[in-house]
Amino acid sequence: MKEFMNMCESCNPGEVEFLQAVGEVAESVRPVLEKRPEYRKTKILERMVEPERLVMFRVPWVDDKGEVQVNRGYRIQMNSAIGPYKGGFRFHPSVNLSILKFLGFEQVFKNALTTLPMGGAKGGSNFDPKGKSDNEVMRFCHSFMNEVFRHIGADTDVPAGDIGVGGREIGFLFGAYKKLRNEFVGVLTGKGLTWGGSLIRPEATGYGCVYFASEMLATKGDSMEGKVCLVSGAGNVAQYTVEKAIQMGGKVVTLSDSAGYIYDESGITKEKLDYIMYLKNVERGRIKEYADKYPGAVYTPVDPSLDYNPLWNHNADCAFPSATQNEINRKDAQNLVGNGVKVVAEGANMPTTPDGVDIFLDAKILYGPGKAANAGGVSVSGLEMTQNSMRLSWTREEVDAYLLRIMKSIHSACVSAADEYGQPGNYVMGANIAGFTKVAEAMLAQGII
Ligand code: NDP
Please check whether residues 261 and 308 belong to one and the same domain. Answer: yes
Residue 375 CB less than 6 A away from ligand 1:
no
Could you say which of 188, 215, 236 is where a domain stops?
A: 188
Q: How far is CA 192 from the centre of its chain?
A: 20
Rounded (10°) angle between helices 354-363 and 330-338? 20
Q: Is 217 a pocket residue for ligand 1 (Cβ < 6 Å)?
A: no
Do residues 137 and 258 share a domain?
no
Q: Are residues 232 and 175 in the same domain?
A: no
User: Is 428 a domain residue?
Assistant: no
Domain count, the chain: 2
The active-site residue, picked from 86, 101, 110, 122, is 122
25 domain residue, yes or no? no
Q: From 324, 380, 381, give the residue whose CB has the most ligand 1 atoms within 8 Å, as the site to mutate.
A: 324
Nearest protein CA to atom 11 of ligand 1, as residue: 257
Count the neighbouring beta carbons within 10 Å of the beta carbon of residue 361. 17
Residues 69 and 137 in one domain: yes
Verify whether ligand 1 is closer than 6 Å to residue 348 (CB atom).
yes
Strand order in the sheet with 298-301: 254-257, 260-263, 298-301
Residues 367 and 244 in one domain: yes
Label each residue of 242-262 as H, E or C.
Answer: HHHHHHCCCEECEEEECCEEE
Domain that holds residue 277: 204-373
In total, the chain counts a number of residues equal to 449
CATH number at residue 105: 3.40.50.10860
- DSSP assignment of 419-439: HHTT-TT-HHHHHHHHHHHHH
Mutational pocket test of ligand 1: of 96, 162, 210, 380, the residue with most ligand atoms within 8 Å of the beta carbon: 162
Do 112 and 237 have their domain in common? Answer: no
Domain boundary among 325, 358, 373: 373
Answer yes or no: 293 catalytic. Answer: no
| Helix locations, 78-184, DSSP H | 97-113, 134-148, 167-181
- The answer as to whether 434 is a domain residue is no
Cβ distance 220 to 305 under 8 Å?
no
Atom of ligand 1 lying closest to residue 349 CA: 32
Do 209 and 358 have their domain in common? yes
State if residue 324 touches ligand 1 by the CB under 6 angstroms criterion. yes
Dihedral of CA atoms 368, 374, 380, 386 in degrees, nearest 10, equals -80
Residue type, 68: V
Tell me: do 315 and 265 sit in the same domain.
yes
Domain boundary among 310, 342, 373: 373
- Ligand 1 site, residue 237, Cβ cutoff 6 A: yes
Same domain? 213 vs 169: no
- Using alpha carbons, select from 209, 172, 213 the residue that is nearest to residue 190: 172
Low-confidence ranges of the chain (pLDDT < 50): none
Whether residues 330 and 210 share a domain: the answer is yes
**277 in any annotated domain:** yes
Do 174 and 300 have their domain in common?
no
Distance from C-alpha of 362 to C-alpha of 368, rounded to nearest angstrom? 14
What pLDDT, on a 0 to 100 scale, did the predictor assign at position 176? 98
**Domain CATH number, residue 311:** 3.40.50.720
Domain annotation covers residue 328: yes
Residue 310's contacts (CB-CB under 8 Å, 6 or more residues apart) are: 261, 300, 303
Examine the domain organization and report whether 88 and 180 are in the same domain.
Answer: yes
Q: State whether the beta carbon of 114 lies less than 6 angstroms from ligand 1.
A: no
CA 322, CA 254: separation in Å to the nearest integer?
11
Nearest to 418 by CA among 404, 432, 438, 436: 432
Q: Which of 373, 332, 331 is nearest to 350 (CA)?
A: 373
**Rounded distance, CA 240 to CA 190, Å?**
15
**Do the domain assignments include residue 322?**
yes
Q: Using CB atoms within 10 A of its CB, is residue 153 exposed (0-12), middle (13-18) or buried (19+)?
A: middle
Nearest ligand 1 atom, CA 324: 32
Whole-number Å distance between alpha carbons of 161 and 153: 16
Residue 46, domain member (yes or no): no
| 430 contact partners, CB below 8 Å, separation of at least 6 | 372, 413, 414, 415, 416, 417, 418, 423
Contact 103, 139 (CB under 8 A): no
With respect to residue 197, please indicate whether it lies within any of the assigned structural domains. no
CB count within 10 Å of CB 129 equals 20
Going by alpha carbons, the residue nearest to atom 10 of ligand 1 is 257
